[in-house]
Structure 1
Amino acid sequence: MTLALDWSDTSSIGYPTLFLGVLIGSIVPVVPTGALVGGAAAIAMTTPHLSLPLVLLLATLGAGIGDVATFAAARLGSTAAVRWLSRGQGAERLASARVRFERRGWQLIVIGRLVPAGRIPVLLAAGAVSYPWRRLLPATLVACVLWAVAYALLGVLSGGIFDSPLVATALAAVLVLLVTVVLNLVAKRRRAKTGVGK
């Protein structure tokens, strides 16, 4: 038995790429993690090389570990997180964030994971207000499962339309991009309506 990757076997490359890509992208948002999950799901639907349940499991694990690492960094370096959260806002912003997390912290964590560019601010805020680990971990698990399923469904949809893995993966990436743009527009409109940050 060897630990070396078999470069001729798509699954031996695909699974580690998916897991590490989602993990890294969940800590440092440089990898389009949604497109990665959608593409892997499209490949799972159109070829025997990847398994959809394993795609979901690895995407959830990568996202969950990345989110916990981000929260831990904010929690352990809470002075920096508090400075970031309250920059130019004063102590009332931190007090307001603390109240919001006490009332509906799990909802904020789930929504933060699903809304583009919402995850890191929410996790930093949770760390800054010392949100309890016992509440964070189940909320993160639920958020990451929902996120993985949502983006995998886009890949399943594209894989169900096209038999070609290349076309299905490209369509999954386009669908992920469209969903991201729509969610960003909805979030901006909501913020403008409610006057968040003012």
Structure 2
Amino acid sequence: MDWTNPQAIGYPVLFGGVLLGSLVPLVPTGALVGAAAAIATSTDHLNLVLVLLLSTVGALVGDLATFAAGRGGAGLVSRWVTRRQTERRLNTARDQFTRRGWLLVVVGRLTPAGRIPVLLAAGALSYPWRRLLPAAVAACVLWAVAYAALGVLSGGLFDNPLVATLIAAVLVLVVTAVLALIGRHRERGQEVAAGERR
């Protein structure tokens, strides 16, 4: 492998970073995808189609492994998911996955800090693989395209790959922060509504 070639470094770092970040939510995977897309747009070092493909596959492998951990470690994960939950709430969660599981998987992938809890819960609640797989593929494709689009935007606006990469990373972090704030606001609204119903 020629380590002086940016492709030799870029593609493995992108795939490995997205995979690792999908398993352990410490790596900012959206920023990685956005930065790679910015580089692909502003230079000839990376190919945008390969960036999308590797991002999607890395995210999918990580998501399937997370789901499998919930499914295979059903005892431990199930205790974590079900602790302090009434049987009625668990039945409601199972019913939600039965009726709208694909939507929960897609929204969980696109929501900051939503993916791992959704996938672990789906595994612990025995959501079927045959339903999870197409939902996870669709979720990962949408996720990769969304974050790559931010990178393409910054790469198209700035000719300097370093500036485009930095702007892409900042855009991704801002979008992630805004989505997290919206999610918290919605959760608070739901908690207030639930308290008023009591």
Report if TM-score (shorter chain) is over 0.5. Answer: yes
Percent identity, aligned pairs only? Answer: 65
Structure 2 spans left out of the alignment, 5+ residues: none
The counterpart of 1:152, out of the listed 135, 148, 164, is 148
Matches within 5 A, 1:34-183: 34-183=30-179
- Measured in 1, the distance between the counterparts of 2:82 and 2:190 equals 19
- Measured in 1, the distance between the counterparts of 2:175 and 2:89 equals 30
Structure 1 contact 86–93 (Cα < 8 Å) conserved: no
- Measured in 2, the distance between the counterparts of 1:93 and 1:79 equals 18
The counterpart of 1:25, out of the listed 5, 13, 21, is 21
The counterpart of 1:191, out of the listed 162, 179, 187, is 187
| Two-structure CA RMSD over aligned residues (Å) | 1.3
Deviations 1:34-81 (A, max 9, x none): 000000000000110000000000000000000000000110111112
Deviations 1:98-153 (A, max 9, x none): 01100100000000000000000000110011000000000000000000000000
Structure 1 spans left out of the alignment, 5+ residues: none
- Measured in 2, the distance between the counterparts of 1:41 and 1:87 equals 42
1:92, distance to aligned residue in structure 2 (A): 2.5
- Measured in 2, the distance between the counterparts of 1:30 and 1:90 equals 31
Structure 1 contact 75–130 (Cα < 8 Å) conserved: yes
Q: Which has the higher helix share?
A: 2
Q: Which amino acid aligns with 1:154?
A: L
1:84, distance to aligned residue in structure 2 (A): 1.4
1:93, distance to aligned residue in structure 2 (A): 2.6
TM-score if structure 1 supplies the norm length? 0.95
TM-score if structure 2 supplies the norm length? 0.95
Aligned residues: 194
- Measured in 2, the distance between the counterparts of 1:130 and 1:102 equals 10
- Measured in 1, the distance between the counterparts of 2:80 and 2:114 equals 15
